Structure formats: C-alpha cells, structure tokens
Amino acid sequence: MKVSARNVIRGKVKKVTTGVVNDEIIVELPGGTEVVSIITKTSAERLGLKPGQDVYAIIKASNVMIGVD
C-alpha cells in the first residue's frame, strides 16, 4: 500500500457503529489511544471492517491542531 499521507498508524478496529449513511469506526492504536473515523457505510462494507481487524489510520490534513495543558 502506498499513500501520499505522512501519518499512517497501524491499529486494530475496536468498534464499528453502523448508521443509515455513515459508520463510525473506532481504531485502537498501540498504547491504547483511540482514533475515531466517520466513513460511508459503503466504504466500511467494502473494507469488511470488524472488531479485532488490523487496519491503518491514515491521517492527511492541511492543518493539525496542537494543544497543551
């Protein structure tokens, strides 16, 4: 797999919440951090997403916010 995004993080699907049009996919990263993605129901079905499946969270954004306490 080759992608132009610089942020490609391997994880596991923790939960899939199916909606009418979109599905919410929770990906657990190493160390327990979670990334949530909203993708079309069609894409989730095409990828065959299910809990426990190894996936990549691919993040491509022109802006990434940074926060501190």
7-59 CATH choice from 2.30.110.10, 3.90.1200.10, 3.30.465.10, 2.40.50.100: 2.40.50.100
| Residue pointed to by tokens 């909203």 | 38
Can you tell me the mean pLDDT for 10-39?
97
What is the tens place of the pLDDT at every residue in 25-45? 999 999 999 999 999 999 999
- Which amino acid type is present at position 24? E
Q: What angle do CA 23, 29, 32 make, to 5 degrees?
A: 110
Give the domain ranges of the chain.
Answer: 7-59
